[in-house]
Amino acid sequence: ILKRKQRATDVEPVFGHLKYNKRMGRFLLRGKEKVEIETGLLAIAHNLAKKAG
């Protein structure tokens, strides 16, 4: 239960922000490696935006 509560505050708001505010509801690329790269780039962009704001 503790891990589930932690996930709700750590991870899920980031996905919600990317999906709704940045309009990233689907991946643009196909294949596991490409999706991992795209996810990494989205995470970097998210972190940079947080740092700049």
Per residue in 1-49, pLDDT tens? 666 666 656 667 777 777 777 777 788 889 999 999 998 998 898 889 8
Predicted model pTM: 0.65
The burial class, CB within 10 Å (0-12 / 13-18 / 19+), for 18 is middle
State residue 45's pLDDT score. 87
pLDDT at 8: 59
Which residue is listed with tokens 């991946």?
A: 27
Contact assessment for residue 8 and residue 19, using Cβ atoms and an 8 Å cutoff: no
Q: Which domain holds residue 30?
A: 1-52
Q: What is the dihedral of CA 4, 6, 7, 12, to 10 degrees?
A: 130
Count of domains for the chain: 1
